[in-house]
Amino acid sequence: MANKLQASSGASSRQNIKGYAFISPWILGFIAFLLLPIAMSIYYSFCDFNPLVKSGPLFIGTANFQDLAHDPIFWKALRNTFWYAAIAVPSSLVVSLGLALLLNMRIPGQPVFRTIIFLPSLVPTIASAMLWLWIYNSRYGLLDAMLDRIGITGPGWLTTTEWAMPSLMFMSLWGVGYTVVIFIAGLQDVPRELYESAEIDGASSIRRLWHVTLPLLSPVIFFNLIMAIIGTFQVFATPYAMTQGGPDRATYFYTYYIFDNAFTNNKMGYACALGLIQLVIILALTGIATWSSKRWVHYQGR
Amino acid sequence: MQVAKYIILSILLLLAGYSLIWGPRAEFTPTKGTVVIQYWEKWTGLEGSEMEDIVNKYNQNEGRQKGIYVQYLSMANVSQKTLIATAAGTPPDVAGVWDTQLAQWASTDALEPLDDFVRNYSDYKLDANYYKSVYWDACHFNGKLYGLVSTPANIGLQYNKALFAENADALRAAGCDPTRPPRTFAEFDRYAAALDKKQGDKVFRVGFAPMEPGWYAPQLPFWFGGELFDQKTQHFTLTTPQCVAAMEWVKSYSKRLGAAALNDFRNGLGDFASINSPFITGQSVMELYGPWSANYIGLLKPSMNDPTNPAWMDANFSTLPAAQRQAVLDRHMAKPWQERQKLAQYAFAPFPSVYVDQLITPRHTVDQLTDEELIDNGVTYCCFDVLVIPAGSKHKKEAFDFIAYVNRTDVMEKLCQLHCCTSPLAHNSPTWLSNHPNAYMSVFDRLTRSPRAHHLPIIPIWPEVIDELNNVCQRISLLNQEPADALRESQDILQAKLDQFYARHPEARGTNGQ
């Protein structure tokens, strides 16, 4: 008996070693490229760290965070990012859900419509930015040409402080293809019999949407919400290519400010402090969303 | 099916093997004992390949004799890549960056001082007398030399002669002479207003818009007799009356044209390096610009260089075979510069300045001003690309040899002509001006020798400064803030940033930045 147990424990430890050996590339990669940079970034956020200074980072305690409290550009970038997220996150969810519902209907040419909606997501961000620069162009742009036809003169979409941010928000809807695909996958998982029962009970299509589709789709909505929050707080490439954060920093986003501090101003410590705050904000918002999800996310089989 | 698969695979393997053994090779493979230096440069496209030609010449001649081989790598975002490589201890031996980064990098000892190399260089005499003082001074930080110029430029007034002629009546009605550029600020404003084309709330053409292209709007105080920074006291001077006057002037254009109309107009403008460039399309008649514009015009709209070029060429020039394009450009360059000036539909002149304004008296009117007076009292802003040796370079001596080669008169002149830029050298060959693709190079050249030629302030936090100043200009031109208030706010923000930098890096504090 004792021999049997010993043999089985030996086999299990051999199995464990094999298991660890198989996952070791990931563990090493995780430590080297994620855990260590995060830990160093946290340390650097308490340092005056110019990567070009030979003496290396100089520990300055919480000075970076104190400076941030009095930095008008930090507050402006933070305000811009929150404002963008407040509009772009719900609108992209609503638009993509609406599109998913339409594309889930059994109509002729359904795969073609799905492809058309998904295609813009495949266009690289910078290429999309170039395209939209032309769409927003007041002399040759498609948007102003259409508005002109109904007698409206378009504003300077990207050159006025009032319109630059809404223009970027509107443009963000261009890339909802991925979210739509996830919603469609979720919609296909909704059991048909629930719709049939609701129909027998006399529920209208609006009621079926409200009482059947949305509750059963809530885990997917929750997932897309979290991804959208994270995505909007990391917006960088589009304003970098289209507006360079202007005019008058109207489209200057938080990640843009991190980039400028790290790679233009060589203030890596300050950039790390900004990054740490960004992490805390994203974690807090994700936490709030997760906490609130208990009330509105319904998992099947629970 | 299986057989076909193996056949295709074998063919591919054979092709790969053939390419490896007999495929293309680099033109020159460094022999054993040759020191290979890495050179990272920001220029891509045409400018990048022009520099590559110079590198190749060095490798084939001087480099080969001295046992140095330059490996040239043209890349985007060179400063960020050099920053990361330098921080990692594996920098390139030579980096082509901007003057805006020189003080920032030098203040943290991230660049090798070049003074000893310059002193010991024996191929030709490299010293302060070799360069125009404005460029030589700008290459220093706290008394040490940290880089040598690659291609410099300076800024003047670019104006569309053809549109002046086309709107001669309107200009005359406004009391302006359509045969010459404006000379004083008062005149300039009249010219600009007369050349504006507006219908209702829509602007179709601007005589001048300070923010178009707006690259040098933060430096406008120079033309108003002001400075942005006092090198001696290390204090910003943004609240001086001259700086406020410059920004009030920016504001006056937004007020006259209407901020919303101007924004709408600017939103419709094309890229400066395209056929839709507002100067090329005639949407912007006068601009604060550099000499390189002539290169773009020559490539994008040949008829602006020479109206005898057929109109079809304008739309299709870039699609013509390279040899045919070059033939057109060569034909143009074969003409004497005086003739090229006459043919050109555009011209360059000193941008008005308060110093010229001060020369005007009831006895000495604006029309009596001589060219000498205009140039000698002219103001210009000199900016440049710079070659540096990042700290940690493995082959400093060899790297400097290449930098010095680029600065040799014949090489520098060739590079500046190819890039259509000013020369940083105090003395040039007799044919330098006449062979320059910009027929107005003499204007730029003389301005760089003026005592009022400015380089950018030597400040270790310049990237933050210029970002803030650009935003000030935007805010003012959008009429979002009064100039005096915006400048006062920026003065406080920037001074606090600089003071903090010096508090943390006391060794970087210089007395005069030279």
Task: Convert the pLDDT of each residue in B186-244 to its tens digit.
Answer: 999 999 999 999 988 889 999 999 998 989 999 999 999 999 999 999 999 999 999 99
* Minimal Cβ distance to A51: which of B79, B87, B109: B87
B266–chain A Cβ distance below 8 A for any pair: yes
Q: Which of A69-73, B20-24, B60-64 shows the lowest mean pLDDT across its residues?
A: B20-24
B514 pLDDT more than 60:
no
Q: How far is B318 from chain A (nearest CA, A)?
A: 21
- In angstroms, the first-to-last Cα distance of chain A is 43
- Per-residue pLDDT reduced to its tens digit, A103-136: 988 888 888 999 999 999 999 999 999 999 999 9
A95 pLDDT more than 60:
yes
Could you tell me if B244 and B303 are in contact, meaning their C-beta atoms sit under 8 angstroms apart? no
A4 pLDDT more than 70:
no
B72 pLDDT more than 70:
yes
Q: If you average pLDDT over residues B272-285, what whole number do you get?
A: 92
Q: Sort out which chain A residues have CB atoms less than 8 A from B269's CB and list them.
A: 139
Least CA distance to A143: which residue of chain B? B268
The one-letter amino acid code at A132 reads W
The per-residue pLDDT for A302 is 56
CB contact under 8 A, A266 and B86: no
Q: Sort out which chain A residues have CB atoms less than 8 A from B267's CB and list them.
A: 136-139, 156-159
Percentage with pLDDT > 70 across chain A: 96
Percentage with pLDDT > 90 across chain B: 71
- d(CA B342, CA B336) in angstroms, rounded, equals 10
Which range has the top average pLDDT, A20-24, B261-265, B509-513?
Answer: A20-24
User: CATH 1.10.3720.10 region(s) of chain A?
Assistant: 72-296
A216 pLDDT more than 60:
yes
Q: If you average pLDDT over residues B143-160, what whole number do you get?
A: 95
B179 pLDDT more than 90:
yes
Task: Tell whether the torsion through CA atoms of B54, B127, B350 and B244 is positive or negative.
Answer: positive
CA proximity to A280, closest of A85, A42, A13, A61: A42
The per-residue pLDDT for B27 is 58
The per-residue pLDDT for A107 is 84
Per-residue pLDDT band at A7 (split at 50, 70, 90): low
ipTM: 0.84
CB contact under 8 A, A58 and B504: yes
Q: Which two tokens stand for residue B208?
A: 């001048």
B267–chain A Cβ distance below 8 A for any pair: yes
- The count of C-alpha atoms lying within 13 angstroms of the C-alpha of B338, restricted to the half-sphere facing its C-beta, is 0
Least CA distance to B201: which residue of chain A? A153
Radius of gyration of chain B (CA): 25
Q: If you average pLDDT over residues B453-474, what whole number do you get?
A: 95
Of B263, B276, B461, B504, which to mutate for an interface test with A (greatest number of A Cβ within 10 Å)?
B263
The per-residue pLDDT for B386 is 96
B275–chain A Cβ distance below 8 A for any pair: no
Least CA distance to A259: which residue of chain B? B80
Residues belonging to chain A with any Cβ–Cβ distance to chain B shorter than 8 Å: 48, 50-54, 58, 60, 67, 72, 136-141, 153-161, 246-249, 260, 263-266
The per-residue pLDDT for A1 is 56
* Minimal Cβ distance to A52: which of B110, B267, B268: B110
The per-residue pLDDT for B71 is 94
B512 pLDDT more than 50:
no
Q: Sort out which chain B residues have CB atoms less than 8 A from A147's CB and list them.
A: none
Q: What share of chain B is helix, strand, coil (3-state, %, to 5)?
A: 50, 15, 35
Q: Greater confidence, B484 or A151?
A: B484
Q: Sort out which chain A residues have CB atoms less than 8 A from B467's CB and list them.
A: 260, 264
Q: How far is B80 from chain A (nearest CA, A)?
A: 6
CB contact under 8 A, B463 and A137: no
Q: Sort out which chain A residues have CB atoms less than 8 A from B461's CB and list them.
A: 265
Contacts of B139 (CB under 8 A, 6+ apart): B102, B145, B146, B147, B148, B149, B386
Per-residue pLDDT band at A140 (split at 50, 70, 90): confident
B66 pLDDT more than 90:
yes
Q: If you average pLDDT over residues A223-238, what whole number do you get?
A: 92
- d(CA B393, CA B131) in angstroms, rounded, equals 26
Per-residue pLDDT band at B20 (split at 50, 70, 90): confident
Q: What is the mean pLDDT of chain B?
A: 92
Q: Sort out which chain A residues have CB atoms less than 8 A from B478's CB and list them.
A: 160-161, 247-248
The per-residue pLDDT for B4 is 84
| A-to-B residue pairs, Cβ atoms closer than 8 angstroms | 84
Percentage with pLDDT > 70 across chain B: 98
CA proximity to A158, closest of A146, A174, A169: A169
- Per-residue pLDDT reduced to its tens digit, A241-283: 999 998 999 999 999 999 999 999 999 999 999 999 999 999 9
The per-residue pLDDT for B28 is 59
Instruction: Please state which architecture CATH assigns to domain A72-296.
Output: Orthogonal Bundle (1.10)
